[in-house]
Amino acid sequence: MTKKEKERAEKRIEVVKDVLKRLRYLNLSTSNYLWIENIDDIGGEKVKESDLANKYLSKLEKKCLVCAKGALFLSHIRKYNEIKMDKVFQFDFSPNDCLADLKEFDQDNLDLIEAAFQQLEYYEDGLEKRAVYFGKQFDYKDKKDRLKAILKNMLENDGVFVPPPIPVEDEELTNA
């Protein structure tokens, strides 16, 4: 691993640990990326697009509905304070554009994380299918435990989600 790769892995791990630490405060959702009603007026405070998001982080955490990507996004804001509110405004509409600012994460891996968290059914093979299988080991309603398991997997793999292989006995069930 090069020095740059090691630095990226360390940043990913910091963000993952932060999500784990903050998990009990998050309002997890499997239908939204990061959504808040009246985002331009958080807690009676007018928000400017040019403001750093960290300024509003505690209010965002209390009011936002977030998916796995949204949880990582909020923790990235907390750890690195370089995201402006315009990205938060855009997040639910174009999360991948906003997540491009999380340079320590690979977009394909973020998509795997989300597939496991959302338990998305439309994947037919490969890593995505393994990610969904991983996510389905948890009750659909138990979002916190599912996200916690995904994050622990990431900690074991330098901050990258690596869905384990589907056991042979279950492979037939997933192909049905």
pLDDT the model gives residue 8: 93
Total number of domains constituting the chain? 1
pLDDT range class, residue 17, cuts 50, 70, 90: very high
Q: Element (H or E) spanning 35, and its range?
A: strand 34-35
- Beta partners for residue 41, in sequence order: 46
pLDDT range class, residue 124, cuts 50, 70, 90: low
pLDDT the model gives residue 6: 95
On the question of pLDDT at 82 being above 70, the answer is yes
pLDDT the model gives residue 40: 59
pLDDT the model gives residue 176: 47
On the question of pLDDT at 99 being above 80, the answer is no
pLDDT range class, residue 174, cuts 50, 70, 90: low
Residue 95: how many CB atoms within 10 A of its CB? 20
Structure-model confidence comparison of residues 135 and 122, the more confident one: 135
Residues 30/74/109/95 CA torsion (nearest 10 deg): 70
Structure-model confidence comparison of residues 151 and 36, the more confident one: 151
Domain extent at residue 82: 3-175
On the question of pLDDT at 43 being above 70, the answer is no
- Beta partners for residue 45, in sequence order: 42
